[in-house]
Amino acid sequence: MLRLTGQYGDGWYPTAQLSTDEYAAKLQIVRAAAREAGRHPEAITPALHQFIVVSPTEQEARAMLDTKVVRYGALLAPADLWRKAGVEHPFGEEFRGYFDVVPEWYDRKTLDEALAAVPTEVIGYALLWGTPEQVASKLRGFGEVGLRHVVLNLASALISRRAALYGLRAIRRIARLLGREQ
């Protein structure tokens, strides 16, 4: 798909959490495919759909990582992402993430046990988290390797009304922090 994006696409919009190194490597594949197809690689907009948990303090953001709704999001990550964190997915090594979730296949006990098994390292792969300044700093790293457009999905809004309202204001703060450098 990366090569097809380079050959035919106007933009690249990954929705899976990537490290900045993975993002840079995959963007290079897109750009190389564009060059090979006779296209200008800079004409393809590198983007990112990023889930975030944002809070006024790092301590509050860390506490949000331990909520069931955030853990559930990490549980929906595919087994290969769990392997990167050095752990096995509770639904097996072939689990492909939300593609394989059929809610009626799992009883409450199974889900509760799986949620309890989600390590913080996997949650860290699934989203960016922290204060607005910390999230902006992490996004800045993606900008340094080529990101030009980001869509933030406010996962912390699923935790509480207070977190949702704060998160909306925080997204504006993050945008201002990133906009200063342009």
Taking only the tens place, the pLDDT of each residue in 163-180 is 999 999 999 999 999 986
139 near 104, Cβ under 8 Å? no
Place of tokens 């009304």: 161
Long-range contacts of 99-106 (CB under 8 A, 24+ apart): 101/76
Query: Token digits for 27?
Result: 């963007």
| pLDDT at position 180 | 62
| pLDDT at position 99 | 85
Spacing of C-alpha 169 from chain mean position = 20
Work out the average pLDDT over 135-156. 95
Quick check: pTM over 0.75?
A: yes
The Cα 14–Cα 151 span in angstroms is 10
- Least confident range from 35-39, 60-64, 125-129, 170-174: namely 125-129
Q: What are phi and psi of 93, to 5 degrees?
A: -70, -15
| pLDDT at position 103 | 80
The Cα 179–Cα 182 span in angstroms is 5
27 near 52, Cβ under 8 Å? no
Q: Which of 18, 11, 49 is nearest to 125 (CA)?
A: 18
Query: Token digits for 167?
Result: 């998160």
